Each structure stands twice: as structure tokens, then as C-alpha cells.
Structure 1
């Protein structure tokens, strides 16, 4: 057998093995942790009766009546990532498409996964709105989450596996996804990018480090981007003074590799820095973002899905990296304030959407980012609608307040006057 043929066969076998493992990784992970951690909380246990709480991305999409595929992508540094692809039910020739035959790559936020985008359900989730409108939608999964826990040589239980921050997600994960999509599509069509939270961070890291990738994108739409964070509020700020040289005690609390691998913030920390029911304060993402769900808006079924899908996994190094940029007020590499990511290299047209009620991606910080962008389209600020950092995904009004604007940017954004600032009041 020729050397290249042997290499391709080995790679195919690795991908098939990873794909078979990810079929059960989500349910096994959640079930195991649920059994270990929830004995004391009858309220938490009762949420498990929600039929969709323990469904994976593919199971949820299938349950919602959508066509979905799983693709395994190999990064240059050996991580095996899962890309989920939603195939549009409409073809251009039948005249039924309403948005356009766009290719859209979407990346989740901090501690999230591809499931985040579809937890809102079949009628309002952004990937479904895009897919039903004719778009070819690809949902990324960052290294370390439920669907991307494979490596060609590193064990997921080793500290070496978790030695990454959002820099590696931008440096390795996103380029691998872009190259894979271009290979599958086998054309020169530009990709439209939508990133929430850390998904925006990784996008700007990629384009600043690899300017040649700018030509592969038609537009970037950043939802609540985490780039400049000097005005961020919430419990993440308590880690800022220890983020560069974290003491062993802190790493013992947070996890030396994976961030809180038991999926729960220690009770004493939650009680000290979070005001609200323990059910929410113990959740790592809601804790860090300072979000207590509005139960008048989030129904119990949605709450169940969120609490059982979030956190989907991430590294402590990622959390510390964000803490470092909160402290420094700069957008820089891990443990190195002097090496800022050169945003001047990002030439893709960029639209930004933010909220006045987001304590994590604040208006002043997002404005600073917007005015640092070489090719800005619009900065859309939503005021007075109680949209927190996670409500960009899960607000029952997200379709009308946010996604309608996202679709507008996809269709007409490149025709919008540059350096425009709109506000939704």
C-alpha cells in the first residue's frame, strides 16, 4: 500500500472511531455526572423528566424534524473535533429559499457546544431559521466539549489534553473547520460566520494570526463578543488577581486541566458571589456570567435543557485567559500582555450585536472592539430588553430581537453604510 494511502486509511479509521465514541459521549457524560452530583437536589433531579433534557445535538435536531450530519475534523495539533451540519430542506431551483444559498459557520460560546444554538426549539433557534431559509449551516464544537474530546495521542484525562485556551481554538480549531468545509463544498464560495461570546473571540484570533483566511469569509456577525473586557462584571473578576500564576488551591477548586469537571461550582463560592437559587448559581456558565434565569420567560423545559447541556466542557486555562484580559484591558495572548492580537489584520466585514443588560460583554467594551475593526458594518445595541449574555441564545424573544437582525446582516449587511451604529430601544 502506498504511504499516502496508508495515511488516509489510518486517518479514516481514527475519524470513524471518534464518531462512534461521540454517539454516546454526551449521554454517558451527563448521566454519570448526574448520578454523582445531584443526590442532594430534588429540584435538579425533577428536571431530568423533561424528555429532551438528555438529548445530544443530533438527537435534538432529529427530534425537531431536521436533517443533520456529524463530521469529524482533525486539527494540525491532533485534536478530533465534531462539526454538525444542518442540510437545508430547500434547493435554490425550487424557488422556496427565503434567505439565500449561503454557507454559514456558527461557533458557540464559553463552555458551550453546538447544542446551545438549538436548545430554544424548532421554531425559534437560529440554525433552523437559517437552514429553513436555504442556508448550509455548520455548527462547530471547540476542543474539550462533549463532542470534541478526542486526540490522536493525548488522553482526555491527562493535563496535557487540556493545555489550551481560546487561542488554540482560534489558531487550530477554526482553521481546521474552514479547510474541511471548503474541501467538502469543493468550491470557492465564501463562508458567513456567526459567533457568540467566545466564538467571536476565536474568530478574531484566527483572522489576526492568519490574515490569509480573511479571503475565505464574506461576513462576520459577532453576538456579545468577548474581546475587550475591562468593564465586565460578575464572579469571573474574582480570578483576575490570580490568573497569571494561579495557586494550587485555586486549581484544586477549578480543576487543573478541565474547568470544574464535576460540572458544579463549589457551594461556598456560589453562595458568596452569586445571589439566587443554588440551582443556577452552581452552574459554571451561569455563575461566571452572573445570570439568574427569569423563570417567567424561561419555561421549565428550556431550563432543563440548559442545565443539562451547560457546561459542555472547557479548560481552566481558557477561563484564566479571559480573567487575564479583564485585568489587563487588552486583547492579548495567554500570560503575555505585550503580545496583543493584531486586529488590524482582520479585514472581513464585521457586524456586532450587543445588549445593555449583558454584564459580561458590556456596551463600552463592545464599542471599543467595534471602533478597532478595520471594516465595520454596524454595531447594533439592544437596550432595555433584559437580554443577558446567554439570552442571545435562549431568550424566548431572541428570534425577533436578535435573529431577525442577523438575517438582515446576512442578506443586506454588505450594502449597509460602514461605521454605522444602530440601537434597538
Structure 2
């Protein structure tokens, strides 16, 4: 038995109960590069510099089709979310269909934890990040880089959750970028937060208290790879059965909608090997402000609003100028993006070309990227949208 096989055997059988396939467990320990290579697509990796000094990592599966596709992850996530299901994942499936697939990482996650001058482990200023930074600075730099490298005039985009929110922020603040998006396919789209059930509403109402506690302990990064929070999550949640009961059934499903048919305990080690991928404390506070204000707008600086916005309260994002073509795909069982909120978003966006709710009533917020049968339920809709919305 070679060294590598010996290590894999040891990892699989020495620490975890022998109840799930070794392949499932080891996938949770692989990096993006290793996991993508395992499924036949060794990725290209690029570093993108934003105008305010952050260094972002892009992963790419080169393809022969003309229009590149940008896959944009959501909150607490990373580019890895698009390949966790291997051959049944969206990233690998698009690559197998010869699309030129780009998967980005927003500032602060495990793959984009770099800055020209700031040290994320020492400088609190690194974590001064809200939705404006993701949309106005990160997304604009990512789009420009992809179009420069490929020579394309436009790109297609697929976002999940808050991975769509950043497009609305960009389109409203820098309207010239609307013309660079051929079509945005918005999976589980999030903008408004006020029509939520109790667990999400409780977090929204108490986020400021939680934020003050974190500030008291000088905590600016949530679930970063090198800190105790993340190590505890991996230790507990990656266990296939007890981790599933604690982290999925008791924590995540109440927030996103229950659906153990699509995400079972055997998939747990993979999920929590890659998720959460780190996130700024300030951004979660921004979400809670949107919840309380019942409007979609930039960060509320309180007494400093006049300095930032020349007014005492922050304005709302002007969604009427977000002219990019958008296809909204929402889940009936999605507790983080409930249909009431998606319907409000639909009314405020001027160029929604399609609004789709999959027939499966159990489809929740996480199924859009991690569901076992998402390839059958969702991919035909996505591939049809890509084929029939060319500029």
C-alpha cells in the first residue's frame, strides 16, 4: 500500500465511524483544486486585484463556448460550493458541456483572504466589509478581468443566494456594468429580508446585540479557517450522523427549510469540509439592518450617515436602473428567500425575463447548489436559459 493510499485509509477509518463511503469523507478534506481535478477538470487559478487593494481568487474550467459563465457564491460560501456534488454539481456539469466556467471568491473567504497592505489576522480594517464592497468593488473587478482574459463583450452569470444580491448592488451603483451581463440566472435570490419566519427574524432582531458582543472580543471574522469557531464546526458538523442532527436538523434546516431528502447525513462530511468558508462580521450586521428597515439599501452608519450619504438615513439601492436581464428561480420551501420577498424583488427589477418556481415543494435554500437531485430538477431549466438567452 503506497504512502497516499495509507494516509487515505488512516483518515477514513481511524477517526470516523465506518458508516459512509471513504470517497465521501475524503472529498470534504480536499481543496478546490484537488476536488475539481478528481472530477476531470484541473482548474486554472487567477488572482484579481480590486481598486481598494483586495486580492481575490478566481477558479476557471476553460471551455470552447463563446460566452463565459460566472458562478457567484453566497454568504459564508466559496467557489467550492459549485462542485461539491462532483459530476452532479453545476460547475462540473457546465464544464462537461464545454462552457467556459469561472467561479469567484469574494473578499474575506478562505480563497480571498489577501490584501496588498492589510493583514487579515492583525488589521481590523481588512474586515471593514459590507455589501457595497462585494458588489461595487469585487464584482466589478471580477467581471472586467473575465472579459479582458476571454475577449468576450458580455458574460452570463449564475448566482446563489446573496451571490445575486451583489449584482443588484453593482447594477444600481455602477449602471454601466448592466450592459456587461448577458443574463443573470438568480438561484434563491435575496434582497429583502423582512418576511421571514421566527429563526431568521430572531437573528435579524438580535444581530446588533450579537455584533456588540463580537466587537467586545475584537472578533471581526466569522468562521475563518484558522480560528476556533471554524475548527469546532468542522469537528462537530463533519460527523455524518451526530453532526447532521446538530448542524443540519437543529441549526441549518430551521433557517433554510427542511429537506432531508435532498441533503442526507452521508453528504455532511463534504458540506462541512468546505462550508462555512469565512465571512465578515460587519456584513451580517448589514443584513440585519436591511431586515429592520424593510428596505434594500447600503450600510447604516448612524450618526455618520451624513458623512457617507449626505443625509441622516441611508438611501435605498435604485433597483430601477438594474437593467441587466434576470431570470429569478425561487423555492417554495426556501425560508431564507421566501416567495413574498422574491415577488417584491421581481416587481422592483425592470428586466425580469422569467420567474420560475420548481414544482418540487420541498426545494429549500441549499438545494439549489447541494441537492442530491438538483441535476434533474434544476439543471434543465438552467441549461435552457443559457441556450435561449444569447445576445
TM range (shorter): 0.7 to 0.9
1:367 matched to 2:343? yes
Q: How does 1:77-156 map to 2 (within 5 A)?
A: 77-88=52-63, 91=64, 100-122=65-87, 124-156=88-120
Q: Look up the match of 2:194.
A: 230
Q: Look up the match of 2:29.
A: 54
Cα 1:160–1:352 change in 2 (3 A) is same
Return the offset for 1:331: 0.6
Return the offset for 1:67: 3.3
Contact 2:223 2:277 in 1 (8 A): no
Return the offset for 1:376: 1.2
C-alpha separation between the residues in 2 aligned to 1:47 and 1:400?
Answer: 23
C-alpha separation between the residues in 2 aligned to 1:113 and 1:376?
Answer: 26
Q: Look up the match of 1:178.
A: 143
C-alpha separation between the residues in 2 aligned to 1:70 and 1:321?
Answer: 30
1:218-254, Cα deviation, whole Å (9 max, x unpaired): 111100111012112353422323445766325458x
**Residue aligned with 2:124, SS:** coil
**Residue aligned with 1:161, SS:** helix
Cα 1:47–1:343 change in 2 (3 A) is farther
- Of 52, 60, 66, 2:41 maps to 66
Return the offset for 1:192: 0.4
**Structure 2 segments unaligned to the other structure (5+ residues):** 1-14, 234-243, 302-312
Cα 1:366–1:247 change in 2 (3 A) is closer
Contact 1:280 1:293 in 2 (8 A): no
**Residue aligned with 2:336, SS:** coil
Q: How does 1:219-298 map to 2 (within 5 A)?
A: 219-233=183-197, 235-243=199-207, 248-249=212-213, 251=215, 256-261=219-224, 262-263=229-230, 277-280=245-248, 286=252, 289-290=255-256, 294=260, 296-298=261-263
- Of 145, 150, 162, 1:198 maps to 162
Contact 1:232 1:326 in 2 (8 A): no
C-alpha separation between the residues in 2 aligned to 1:223 and 1:288?
Answer: 19
C-alpha separation between the residues in 2 aligned to 1:109 and 1:65?
Answer: 25
C-alpha separation between the residues in 2 aligned to 1:149 and 1:106?
Answer: 19
Contact 1:171 1:205 in 2 (8 A): yes
- Of 115, 121, 130, 1:165 maps to 130
Taking structure 1 as the reference length, the TM-score comes to 0.76
Q: Look up the match of 2:4.
A: none
Is 239-248 or 405-414 further displaced after alignment? 239-248
Contact 1:221 1:350 in 2 (8 A): yes
C-alpha separation between the residues in 2 aligned to 1:114 and 1:392?
Answer: 14
Q: How does 1:354-393 map to 2 (within 5 A)?
A: 354-393=330-369
C-alpha separation between the residues in 2 aligned to 1:341 and 1:245?
Answer: 26
Cα 1:365–1:404 change in 2 (3 A) is same
C-alpha separation between the residues in 2 aligned to 1:45 and 1:166?
Answer: 41
C-alpha separation between the residues in 1 aligned to 2:27 and 2:215?
Answer: 34
Q: Look up the match of 1:325.
A: 290
Contact 2:190 2:337 in 1 (8 A): yes
**Residue aligned with 1:81, SS:** strand
Q: Look up the match of 1:423.
A: none
Q: Look up the match of 1:419.
A: none
Cα 1:358–1:165 change in 2 (3 A) is same
Is 314-323 or 47-56 further displaced after alignment? 47-56
Cα 1:260–1:291 change in 2 (3 A) is farther
Return the offset for 1:166: 2.2
1:305 matched to 2:264? no
Cα 1:106–1:366 change in 2 (3 A) is same
1:297-321, Cα deviation, whole Å (9 max, x unpaired): 4355522110111100111111111
Contact 2:329 2:355 in 1 (8 A): yes
